[in-house]
Amino acid sequence: MSSRKRTGMREGYEFMPIRDVGRSVGQKAKLIGVILDFGFPKKSKGTDFCCCLRIIDETHHQISMAINMFEENVERLPRLAAVGDVVVLCCVEVKSFKGEVNVTFNKRFSSFGLYKGKDGDDLDPYHVSSYFHHVREDESLIVKLRKWLMNFQPHEDSSNFPMLREIKEETSVNLACKILHFCETAKDEWIIFSWDGTNTPSNVICSKLEEEINCPLPLQLEPLPLSREVLCTLPVAGSILRIMFDKVVVKNHLHLLNVDKWVKFMNIHLKVVDGLWLGVFSPQSRLRYTPNEDSLIVERQRLSDEQLFPKPLFITEEVNQDHATPVTLMTVLTHSKVVTAKFKCVVRVVAAMPYLAKNLLSSIGKYRMQLTLEDSTARVHAFVTGKDGETLFDGYPSIDELTRKLNRLLGVTGIKDAPRDPPWVSVCLKSYYVSKTDVWGSRNFKIFGIKIVGDT
């Protein structure tokens, strides 16, 4: 009989309430709790794979208890059906690290069993480790824990969960977001599309304008744009934060990401790539149990209904003012009535091609250029051609005057290679198609009916 089996499940048979674990450092314990947080598996510093659970019970739920799980392969680690399920842990080691008490699952003698959470009625475990023995006498505790969980409300401080409008670059934060979509963009590379109804802060643009021809600013972070079918399911207001997984994270729990559900992400790292916000689900990130009636989520749902447009600077004006209400670029992209339509938007011009005033005219002396526009919801390319260029630049001014106008739009300062912070401006967009056989697939946009005004 192996040493693991000899240890037996009867050692420390009585369950220890989580509140008492702190008095048992250096001992082995048997615990039962609700999984509040779950971190995806990763490779440990040694040869094992590991993951971290954080559990609570009715005696200890203000602060969760960390359970560090180690196994020789990913398949032996807990395979959760849902965050909020019940776990039974036997013969685990109670330790202390940097003043915090935690529990370690030792692959040589510890064991676990997973049970459905508050919505479950089956008392048999759905996933167990080697040598785990389901004890019928323990079933009353599982039932009791489920009943407690039915009325349990996590008390989260909203200040610990900044909204997307409050995020900052190169920080790690907790987020309460709705999962709109997730997909595989390359082999074993997945992106989560998350949203809370608010607008992320705009970023400075660090790319050089001369790089736009060979290395253009991307319209999105994923390699290929979403299909129109998917795009039209997304909200038209509020920023969508893309969250990618760190390469070392094992993506075997993607079933925990339920589309159209609100979820709490813990410790998501935020960065800016090409002026676009990106979240990273790192080895330290976790998913938190989020009931439908969660008070923090209810608050976020209410706030997501409050929409504000940024106030444009008086740099552009409409030639024929119709006082149309501005819409977001996502509204433009998902407009489905007809391809040919007109819109008014408040945007930033983040790139131009060509970017030099002397190159804006074609060989026959007509304007032709492509602008990259962005707002808090999307980026699009929009063309400026012919008469629309004459309107935008007020005819054919000198090269110096044209340069000043273009620089105002693009946020170019007099400092060489300085990051650009393009101003918010009002534009009129017209959508059109170039192929009658594929009107939506050949859809383009152009700017019309506005001119650059004010001091240049």
Angstrom distances, CA of residue 51 to CA of 37, 121, 241, 247, 449:
11, 27, 25, 15, 57
SS3 call for 114: strand
Rg, Å, the chain Cα set: 28
100, 131, 150: which is the final residue of a domain?
150
Q: Span 36-41, mean pLDDT? A: 96
Residues 120 and 162 in one domain: no
102-122 per-position pLDDT tens digit: 999 999 999 999 999 998 889
Look at residue 351 and tell me if it is in a domain.
yes
pTM over 0.85: yes
Look at residue 432 and tell me if it is in a domain.
yes
331-346 per-position pLDDT tens digit: 999 998 789 999 999 9
124-152 per-position pLDDT tens digit: 999 999 889 998 888 999 999 999 999 89
Count the Cβ atoms, other than its own, within 10 Å of residue 426: 19
Burial 170-188 (b: 16+ CB within 10 A, else e): eeebbbbbbbbbbeeeeee
Element (H, E) at 390: helix 386-392
Look at residue 229 and tell me if it is in a domain.
yes
Look at residue 39 and tell me if it is in a domain.
yes
Residue 222: domain span: 158-303
Look at residue 105 and tell me if it is in a domain.
yes
Per the structure, the count of domains in the chain is 3
Return d(Cα 190, Cα 184) in angstroms, integer.
4
Residues 238 and 298 in one domain: yes
Q: Span 226-243, mean pLDDT? A: 95
In the 8-state DSSP scheme, what is residue 19? G
280-332 per-position pLDDT tens digit: 999 999 999 998 788 888 888 887 666 666 777 778 888 877 767 899 999 99
On the question of pLDDT at 3 being above 60, the answer is no
Return d(Cα 347, Cα 329) in angstroms, integer.
8
Look at residue 275 and tell me if it is in a domain.
yes
Residues 232 and 331 in one domain: no
Residues 423 and 299 in one domain: no
Q: State residue 455's pLDDT score.
A: 61
Count the Cβ atoms, other than its own, within 10 Å of residue 345: 25
Return d(Cα 11, Cα 16) in angstroms, integer.
12
- Are 30 and 113 a contacting pair, CB within 8 Å? no
CA angle 202, 328, 298 (to 5 degrees): 80
Return d(Cα 376, Cα 379) in angstroms, integer.
9
Residues 363 and 388 in one domain: yes
Return d(Cα 219, Cα 216) in angstroms, integer.
9
Return d(Cα 421, Cα 93) in angstroms, integer.
54
- In sequence order, the 6+-apart residues with CB closer than 8 A to the CB of 217 are 205, 207, 274, 275, 350, 351, 372, 379
Count the Cβ atoms, other than its own, within 10 Å of residue 254: 12
Count the Cβ atoms, other than its own, within 10 Å of residue 132: 18
H-helix segments, 81-205: 139-150
Q: State residue 137's pLDDT score.
A: 86
Structure tokens of 113?
């069993």
Q: Is the peptide bond before 17 cis (omega within 30 degrees of 0)?
A: no
Return d(Cα 194, Cα 179) in angstroms, integer.
5
Q: State residue 345's pLDDT score.
A: 95
Return d(Cα 388, Cα 254) in angstroms, integer.
48
357-383 per-position pLDDT tens digit: 999 999 899 999 999 999 999 999 999
The pLDDT confidence band at residue 2, using thresholds 50, 70 and 90, is very low
- Are 418 and 407 a contacting pair, CB within 8 Å? no
Q: State residue 389's pLDDT score.
A: 96
Q: State residue 456's pLDDT score.
A: 53
Return d(Cα 153, Cα 150) in angstroms, integer.
9
Residues 89 and 185 in one domain: no
Q: State residue 6's pLDDT score.
A: 30
Residues 343 and 235 in one domain: no
Structure tokens of 263?
């979820």
Mean pLDDT of the chain, nearest integer = 91
Return d(Cα 429, Cα 384) in angstroms, integer.
10
Residues forming a β-bridge with 117: none
Q: Span 199-214, mean pLDDT? A: 93
Residues 292 and 240 in one domain: yes
Q: For residue 176, how many C-alpha atoms fall within 13 Å in the half-sphere facing its CB? A: 24
Residues 171 and 225 in one domain: yes
- Nearest CA to 235 out of 152, 167, 154, 177 is that of 177
On the question of pLDDT at 12 being above 80, the answer is no
Of 25-39, 184-198, 312-326, 439-453, where does mean pLDDT reach its minimum? 312-326
- Give 401 or 308, the one with higher predicted confidence: 401
Residues 321 and 419 in one domain: yes
276, 303, 330: which is the final residue of a domain?
303
- Nearest CA to 41 out of 10, 1, 80 is that of 80
247, 280, 303: which is the final residue of a domain?
303
CATH number, domain of 184, equals 2.40.50.140
Count the Cβ atoms, other than its own, within 10 Å of residue 167: 19
What is the Cα 116 distance to its own chain's centre? 27
Percentage of the chain modeled with pLDDT above 90: 78
Structure tokens of 66?
């960390």
Return d(Cα 410, Cα 96) in angstroms, integer.
55
Residues 385 and 367 in one domain: yes
On the question of pLDDT at 415 being above 90, the answer is no
Return d(Cα 407, Cα 414) in angstroms, integer.
9
Look at residue 310 and tell me if it is in a domain.
no
Q: Span 180-207, mean pLDDT? A: 94
Look at residue 309 and tell me if it is in a domain.
no
- In sequence order, the 6+-apart residues with CB closer than 8 A to the CB of 58 are 145, 148
Residues 381 and 433 in one domain: yes
On the question of pLDDT at 5 being above 60, the answer is no
